[in-house]
Each structure stands twice: as structure tokens, then as C-alpha cells.
Amino acid sequence: MTVEQPTDPMPSKPGGPILVSISARLGPAFGNVPTQTIIPEFHFVAPNGNAVLLHRDLVETNANGFHENPSAPINTPPDAQKKGAVIVGGFNCNRGQYYVTQSAYVMDADGNHSNSVRYTIHCNGG
């Protein structure tokens, strides 16, 4: 996975959430079968502790018939959001060789959104 990490992330309005960075790890391997799962981790801070949604927009892909749920609820407790928290995703590459570029942001209950961060998942060398 490659990420265009933010250098000075700013929310849409003061007090809004900030998407600090995105990292990734591989899912577990089973026996001799290499993992096909990439687990993106979205690191964010919500000063008001009221972040409710992670949203992803498809920017570009060379995959045929790519489908993903663009939104995921955030159920992190307010105190943890204020200190900095992580939303964990999951992406199953299966056997195809392709890439998917997305842009992600965090939204709070007041409708404020964080900065957007663009990232690309490279499946099986794609």
C-alpha cells in the first residue's frame, strides 16, 4: 500500500476531526497460503470526540467490477477520539492483480469532515 501522507492536516472547520495518517498491515496467513488481506489503519483525532463516520471515495482502479462499501461507522469512545484513535479496515485482494486508489476522510456528528488522504492498495503486484 502506498499513501500520500498529509504534511499539515487541517479539518474543514476548527474543532473538526483530523485524519493524521494511514498505515497498513497484512492479515494472517493460513498454513502455506500467503495472506490476501491488507488491513488499512486510519489514524485520526477528533477534538470534540464526536467522529461518527469514515468515508472512502474511489479515485481510480484497474480492477474489473470493483465494489466496496464507501462508509464505515466509527464506534470509538469520545475520550479515545480526543487523544487519537485508529479505525481498522480490511481489504481482501483475492487472486487478482490490480490496484485501487481511494481518498478517505472522517466526518463528525456536526457534519464537519477531516482532511482527505489518498492511498493506493496494490494487490498481488498490481
The string of pLDDT tens digits covering residues 2-22 is: 999 999 999 999 999 999 999
Quick: pLDDT tens for 58-109.
999 999 888 888 999 999 999 999 999 999 988 888 878 999 999 999 999 9
pLDDT of residue 34: 64
DSSP assignment letter at 84: -
CA proximity to 108, closest of 63, 38, 50:
50
Beta bridge partners of residue 35, listed in sequence order: none
Task: Tell me the C-alpha distance between 117 and 104, whole Å.
Answer: 5
Task: Tell me the C-alpha distance between 45 and 115, whole Å.
Answer: 11
Query: Between the CA of residue 67 and those of 37, 58, 92, what are the distances in Å?
Result: 16, 9, 11
**How long, in residues, is the chain?**
126
CATH of residue 113: 2.60.40
Looking at the structure of the chain, the number of domains it has is: 1
Q: How many CA atoms lie within 13 A of 46 on its CB side?
A: 28
Question: Is it the case that residue 124 has pLDDT exceeding 80?
Answer: yes
pLDDT of residue 45: 98
Question: Is it the case that residue 29 has pLDDT exceeding 90?
Answer: no
pTM: 0.91
Domain around 71: 2-27+36-123
